[in-house]
Homo-oligomer: A and B are copies of this chain.
Amino acid sequence: MSRFSKIAFVASEMREAVEARRALAARYGDTPPDRADVIVALGGDGQMLQTMHRYLNSKIPIYGMNRGSVGFLLNDYREDHLIERLDHAEVNVIHPLRMTAFDDHKAEHKALAINEVSLFRQIYQAAKLRISVDGRVRLEGLICDGVLVSTPAGSTAYNLSAHGPILPIDAPLMVLTPISPFRPRRWRGAILPNEAVVLIEVLEPEKRPVSAVADNTEFRDVIAVEVKEASDVDIVMMFDPGHSLAERILREQFDY
């Protein structure tokens, strides 16, 4: 018998995803997510990320099927043989980043990021940031559009656009990448151990306001942001054999 007798289906609002959900629920039944053995997410990468965020603490594995435009985190869509596919799927466990942002009223905001935490100038005026790692200042005043800290899973997303390196999915690392650095202009960022604690302080925040974003949760007018791995949070993703996240990321590295 399968480990996956109770399946929850969640779908984005796109017609294709909604229809897929209907067809699959009719065929395999539909269990509320909190009582399911597995959550099957239908849509694009956006929907997959949203599903992972929603069920972060449940430890229920998530198996995505592509009904959207971009499907980096997703398996191919097929209606048939879902139970068999789930039984044979490979499991990847990843950890998000935990962002703690302090705003100019000293309020503290926490959020988790599966892809990246990014800081970005709010107006045309460039940001000025002081960057510390493990309590030690490493960059005194980075003038830039912004900076991001990415997980290995997120290293093919915004990090790559900002010219950061792609990391293997299992590497115990995070990557710190500047976004359009002005001074020091040739600083390329740093690959850090996963136990690093990164503190980014916003200098001259009135003149140079900065927002912080964890995946797509945004906090404005931050004055300091701490980022570290949430090693206590497991996100369990499932992939068809030969299409694991490790393989996808490796393939991205050899894509040109």
Residue with the greatest number of chain B CB neighbours at <10 A, chosen from A145, A170, A187: A145
* Pairwise interchain contact B171-A139, C-beta atoms closer than 8 A: no
Given contacts A190-B253, A253-B191, contact A185 B160 (CB under 8 A): yes
State the number of copies, please: 4
Interface stretch, picked from A9-17, A100-108, A173-181, is A173-181
Q: How far is the CA of A229 from the CA of B256 in the complex (A)?
A: 26
Task: Kindly state the separation between the CA atoms of A10 and B213 in the bound complex, as whole angstroms.
Answer: 41
Asked if A181 and B166 sit within 8 Å, CB to CB, the answer is no
On whether the beta carbons of A144 and B166 are closer than 8 Å, the reply is: no
Inter-chain contact A191/B163, CB cutoff 8 Å: no
Shortest Cβ distance from A160 into chain B, in angstroms?
6
A68 contacts B by Cβ under 8 Å? no
A116-139, CB < 8 A from B: 124, 133, 138-139
A93 within 8 A of B: no
Q: State whether the Cβ of A167 lies closer than 8 Å to any Cβ in chain B.
A: yes
User: Is A82 interfacial (CB-CB < 8 Å)?
Assistant: no
Q: Is A81 an interface residue (CB 8 A)?
A: no
A158 at the interface (CB under 8 A from B): yes
In the complex, whether A241 has a CB less than 8 A from a CB of chain B is no
Q: Are A191 and B167 in contact (CB under 8 A)?
A: yes
CA distance A179 to B182 in the complex (A): 13
For residue A32, CB closer than 8 A to chain B, the reply is no
Binary interface encoding of chain A residues 145-168 relative to chain B, with 1 for a CB under 8 A from any of its CBs, else 0:
100000000000010111101111
Q: Establish whether residues B190 and A161, one from each chain, have CB atoms under 8 Å apart when the complex forms.
A: no
Shortest Cβ distance from A162 into B: residue? B180
> Which residues of B lie under 8 Å from residue A167 when comparing CB positions?
191
Q: Tell me the complex Cα distance, A193–B216, Å.
A: 30
A-B contacts, 13 listed (Cβ < 8 Å): A124-B213, A124-B218, A133-B250, A138-B250, A145-B145, A145-B161, A158-B180, A161-B182, A165-B165, A166-B190, A168-B192, A186-B256, A187-B256
Beyond A171-B191, A186-B188, 10 extra complex contacts between A and B, CB < 8 Å: A124-B216, A160-B182, A160-B185, A161-B185, A167-B191, A168-B193, A186-B256, A187-B254, A188-B256, A189-B253
Q: Which 3 A-B pairs have the closest CB atoms?
A: A190-B253, A184-B256, A187-B256
